[in-house]
Structure 1
Amino acid sequence: MKRIIQFFKDSIAELKKVVWPTRDEVASNTRVVLVSIALFAIALGVVDFVLANLVDLIF
């Protein structure tokens, strides 16, 4: 039982050392991720469209 209690005490101590991001940092990083995903999806869509048309021309 002592080991379990010590585990939770150590876990709480470690969590107090963590530097948590601010709300603005989280919002900014979220925007970067969403824009990156949108651009990547558009790029893949264009590549898919071009390759599909090339396959149609060949066959």
Structure 2
Amino acid sequence: MAETVKKTGQFFRDVVKELKRVSWPTRKELTRYTGVVVATVIFIAVFFAIVDLGISSLVRFILG
């Protein structure tokens, strides 16, 4: 049991060390990246909505 606690403590110390090495983005970069992600998600959502509308219209035309 004591060995498990020791290993867990070492794990969290290693995590803290690694997080200090991370190259975190600046606020400006983060804002830009977030904008790109939101724009991409909106574009893909609109694209699939149009494709879905087209396919459903085609199926309705064929079936009825």
Shorter-chain TM-score: what band?
0.7 to 0.9
Report the identity percentage.
39
Q: Number of residue pairs matched? A: 59
RMSD between aligned alpha carbons?
A: 1.5
SS at match of 1:40: helix
Give the aligned partner of residue 42 of structure 1. Answer: 46
- What TM-score do the two structures reach when normalised by structure 1? 0.82
Q: Write the distance in 1 (CA, Å) between the matches of 2:40 and 2:17.
A: 36
**Residue by residue, what CA displacement relative to the aligned partner does 1:1-59 show, whole Å, maximum 9, x if unpaired?**
55444333322222211111111111000000000011101100110111111011100
Could you tell me which runs of 5 or more consecutive residues in structure 2 were left unpaired when the two chains were aligned: none
Distance 1:56 1:4, change over 3 A: closer
Could you tell me which runs of 5 or more consecutive residues in structure 1 were left unpaired when the two chains were aligned: none
Q: Write the distance in 2 (CA, Å) between the matches of 1:44 and 1:10.
A: 44
